[in-house]
Amino acid sequence: MKFSRPDTLFILGRMRNKLFLGLMLLAFISATGQPKKSVFMITDAEGVAGICRQDQTDPKDPELRQLLTGEINAAVEGFLAGGADEVVVWDAHDGSQTLSALTIHPKAKLLIGELGVTMTMERQYVGLAFVGQHSLAGVRAGIMAHSYSSLGIQNMRMNGKPVGEIATRAALAGWYNTPVILLTGDEAAARELLEIVPDAEVAAVKEGLGRYTCISMSAPAARELIRERAQRAMQKIGKIKPYKIDGPVTIEYEYTTRNSLPIDANQRTGAEVVNDRTIRYRGKDFMEAWIRSQVR
Ligand SMILES: [Zn+2]
């Protein structure tokens, strides 16, 4: 084909515009640090289908490992089908000793070990997912409900409201503009997330009748539900709002009778001893309060 000179110039001009747009997009991607759609997954034991007794949550229990891995892999499959490029799975239950690279989804990445205060959220994931999650301490019929430590912490409060792993980690992710997109667990945990992130996807795989009594879905049915919800969650990226706590924040720990205040409670930065079992950390914003509250 032969172009007259003005046509050629026009086409070259358009090509240059496209090139320019392409370069702008690349610059945007590197500036925002989001070259790929990466999902971060927090795994736990108490919210897995088929797990209702405390003895089943032993991280070395072979059945727990199989049941949890099956749910994780179903979620990974759903995320990948929904357009995720990467899923980072954190083995977050009891000392990071439940999952194995041998059985995790071949396309997932396994994160083993303890994490610092940011939980790697500065990596700018497109979404946060909870798999096998339980509800916060004290919830009636919440299966093995607790807030971080059932032996050590009676209650935890953020700005005076009882919270557990779901709300505090959602707020941490929200600080980095990452929304919680999926939660799998018992009905109580699903309700807890929907209260703060109403647009998130949830897969409630069992109903609690009491702390150690539940009616659970079968493993295959739970996996099918989780896969479907994970795919749907991925397709809702951009429509689910990050959970953000504005203004000054207080984070409070009320310890159990088996535990006690830290010895240096009175000397801690931004901390106030509320009573013999309770300490309250204050910050000008969520992150300051969170960092102060994480001192061990
Ligand atoms: Zn937990």
> For residue range 277-287, what is the model confidence (pLDDT) as tens digits?
999 999 999 99
The confidence band for 26, taking pLDDT boundaries of 50, 70 and 90, is: low
Contact indicator for 244, 251 with CB cutoff of 8 Å: no
CA of 47 to the centre of ligand 1 (A): 9
- Can you give the pLDDT at residue 189? 98
CA of 57 to the centre of ligand 1 (A): 11
**Does residue 35 have a pLDDT over 90?**
no
Q: Select from 218, 270, 278, 235 the least CA-distant residue to 254.
A: 278
37 Cβ contact partners less than 8 Å away, ≥ 6 residues apart: 83, 84, 85, 86, 126, 234, 237
Model pLDDT for residues 198-214, shown as the tens digit of each residue? 999 999 999 999 999 99
CA of 134 to the centre of ligand 1 (A): 6
**Does residue 191 have a pLDDT over 70?**
yes
**Does residue 6 have a pLDDT over 60?**
no
Which residue shows structure tokens 């929904």? 82
CA of 182 to the centre of ligand 1 (A): 16
Q: Select from 205, 219, 95 the least CA-distant residue to 143.
A: 205
Question: What mean pLDDT, rounded, does the chain reach?
Answer: 92
Give the percent of the chain with pLDDT over 90: 88
pTM of the model: 0.88
Q: What are the start-end ranges of the H helices in 129-186?
A: 165-175
CA of 188 to the centre of ligand 1 (A): 13
Which phi and psi angles does 39 have, rounded to 5°? -110, 135
CB count in 10 Å sphere of residue 235: 15
Give the percent of the chain with pLDDT over 70: 88
Model pLDDT for residues 243-274, shown as the tens digit of each residue? 999 999 999 999 999 999 999 999 999 999 99
**Does residue 11 have a pLDDT over 90?**
no
Residue 84 or 295, more confident: 84
Residue 180 pairs in a beta bridge with 128
Which phi and psi angles does 194 have, rounded to 5°? -65, -25
CA of 149 to the centre of ligand 1 (A): 8
Write out the residues surrounding ion ligand 1, Cβ under 5 A.
44
CA of 150 to the centre of ligand 1 (A): 9
Stretch among 9-18, 74-83, 200-209 having the lowest mean pLDDT? 9-18
27 Cβ contact partners less than 8 Å away, ≥ 6 residues apart: none
- Can you give the pLDDT at residue 296? 77
Run of H or E including 13: helix 5-32
Run of H or E including 292: helix 286-293
Helix%, strand%, coil% for the chain, nearest 5:
35, 25, 40
214 Cβ contact partners less than 8 Å away, ≥ 6 residues apart: 52, 143, 186, 206, 207, 208
CA of 8 to the centre of ligand 1 (A): 64
Q: What are the start-end ranges of the H helices in 114-268?
A: 165-175, 187-196, 219-235
Query: What is the bridge-based pairing of β-strands 109-111 and 161-162?
Result: unpaired
CA of 93 to the centre of ligand 1 (A): 6
